């Protein structure tokens, strides 16, 4: 196996991510991930299982949500998933075809409403901007008079979910929301779903050292953190490394007292697996109810493999039903 220095010499993370860092500190994003427009109306010409529509949250920050409503429209109110996309905090959006299709399938299989929220990206808007946007999206759900949410959303059964960087956002939002739970009523969070959460640290783990994934190598994640963390900090900052310090102890205590459950999903071929397992252990040590699901495969597996996504949805359905 090549050494890390040899790997770094042979791999250009900027080329892999199809991005260019400009002199003014902004990014030019060349990558074309494909976009899917929202579909808010039923049509006999184009039968679909889920309706979707886009709503602006904060015009100044250009943040918005895409809401997914399974059809036929439900006769009873449904649990709500606040969902955050991946992309290493520097690329992607809720209307990327991959995330649109995943959320559509999730809404259908679990029979839930999905509110897929955008957030500002680095390096133009470094962390904690994404966490601030996530909290704004949560409060927007609480106070919104949006007709689909008013008619079909059960705000007493809310789950916060994200994949990769979105999993990190879901985790950090959970810490914040636990501290503000009294202010969120009547919205009640029942659980956090951390799907391949993007976390890190300065010292390499064994899974990072043995990683040979063609697209998501340590040098790629290093660049993502370099472009998204606050300037002047390293990967042992609390936004990246949840094992450092004791700043989470108060929030963990509140999560335990609130009875929130946490679902952590990962893949053994993911460079992040060791860190994800350690995160599970930390939460279990704090007596938080954690369900972990680690399977074979690589980072983002269920976004690309429909059959694997269906297996995940079965596990998530059990998690949701046992949490409400």
Q: What is the 3-state secondary structure (H, E, C) of the chain?
A: CCCHHHHHHHCCHHHHHCEEECCCCCEEECCCCCECCCCCCCCCCCCCCEEEEEEEEECCCCEEEEEEEECCCCCCCEEEEEEECCCCCCCCCCCEHHHHHHHHHHHHHHCCEEEEECCCCCCCCCCCHHHHHHHHHHHHHHHCCCHHHHHHEEEEEEEEEEECHHHHHHHHHHHHHHHCHHHHCCCCEEEEEEECCCCCCCCCCHHHHCCCCCCCCHHHHHHHHHHHCCCCCCCCCCCCCCCCCCCCHHHHHHHHHHCCEEEEEEECCCCCHHHHHHHHHHHHHCCCEEEEEEECCCCCHHHHCHHHHHHHHHHHHHHHHCCC
User: Across residues 66-87, what is the average pLDDT?
Assistant: 96
pLDDT surpasses 90 at 110: yes
Q: Which of 190, 97, 88, 84 is nearest to 135 (CA)?
A: 84
List the single range of 13-17, 189-193, 215-219 with lowest mean pLDDT. Answer: 215-219
pLDDT digit string (tens) for 255-313? 999 999 999 999 999 999 999 999 999 999 999 999 999 999 999 999 999 999 999 99
C-beta separation of 114 from 68 below 8 A: yes
Decide if 96 is catalytic: no
**What is the pLDDT at residue 10?**
64
C-beta separation of 250 from 271 below 8 A: no
User: Across residues 97-108, what is the average pLDDT?
Assistant: 97
Spatial distance between the Cα atoms of 104 and 210, rounded to a whole number of angstroms: 34
Angle at 145 between CA 142 and CA 149, to 5 degrees: 70
The catalytically annotated residue of 270, 274, 298, 323 is 270
pLDDT surpasses 50 at 27: yes
Decide if 270 is catalytic: yes
**What is the pLDDT at residue 245?**
66
pLDDT digit string (tens) for 148-182? 999 999 999 999 999 999 999 999 999 999 999 99
Query: pLDDT category, 11, cuts 50, 70, 90?
Result: confident
**What is the pLDDT at residue 47?**
75
**What is the pLDDT at residue 48?**
82
User: Across residues 129-146, what is the average pLDDT?
Assistant: 97
256 Cβ neighbours under 8 A, 6+ residues apart: 286, 287, 288
CATH architecture under which domain 47-322 falls:
3-Layer(aba) Sandwich (3.40)
C-beta separation of 120 from 61 below 8 A: yes
In the chain, domain spans: 47-322
pLDDT digit string (tens) for 242-271? 988 655 788 999 999 999 999 999 999 999
Residues in the chain: 324
225 CB-contact burial (10 Å; exposed 0-12 / middle 13-18 / buried 19+): buried
Decide if 236 is catalytic: no
The mean pLDDT of the chain is: 94
The catalytically annotated residue of 92, 164, 207, 323 is 164
């Amino acid at each position: 196996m090549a050494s890390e220095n040899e790997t770094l010499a042979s791999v250009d993370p900027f080329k892999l991510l199809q991005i260019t860092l400009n002199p003014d500190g902004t990014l030019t994003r060349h990558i074309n991930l494909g976009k899917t427009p929202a579909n808010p109306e039923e049509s006999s010409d184009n039968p679909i299982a889920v309706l979707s529509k886009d709503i602006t949250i904060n015009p100044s920050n250009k943040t918005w949500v895409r809401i997914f409503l399974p059809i036929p429209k439900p006769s009873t109110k449904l649990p709500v998933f606040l969902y955050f996309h991946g992309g290493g905090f520097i690329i992607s959006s809720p209307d990327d075809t991959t995330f649109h299709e995943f959320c559509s399938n999730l809404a259908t299989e679990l029979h839930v409403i999905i509110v897929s929220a955008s957030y500002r990206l680095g390096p133009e808007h470094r962390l904690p901007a994404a966490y601030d946007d996530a909290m704004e999206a949560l409060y927007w759900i609480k106070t919104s008079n949006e007709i689909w949410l008013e008619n079909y959303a059960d705000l007493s059964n809310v789950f916060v979910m994200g994949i990769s960087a979105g999993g990190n956002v879901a985790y950090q939002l959970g810490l914040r929301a636990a501290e503000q739970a009294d202010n969120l009523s009547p919205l009640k969070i029942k659980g956090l779903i951390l799907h391949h959460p993007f976390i890190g640290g300065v010292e390499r783990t064994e899974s990072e050292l043995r990683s040979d994934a063609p697209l998501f190598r340590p040098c790629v994640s290093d660049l993502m953190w370099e472009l998204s963390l606050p300037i002047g900090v390293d990967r042992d900052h609390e936004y990246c490394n949840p094992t450092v310090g004791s700043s989470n102890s108060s929030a963990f205590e509140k999560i335990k007292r609130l009875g929130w459950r946490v679902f952590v999903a990962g893949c053994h071929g993911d460079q992040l697996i060791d860190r994800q397992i350690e995160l599970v252990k930390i939460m279990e040590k704090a007596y938080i109810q954690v369900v972990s699901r680690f399977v074979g495969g690589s980072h983002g597996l269920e976004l690309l493999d429909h059959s694997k996504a269906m297996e995940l949805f079965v596990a998530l359905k059990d998690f949701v039903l046992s949490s409400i």
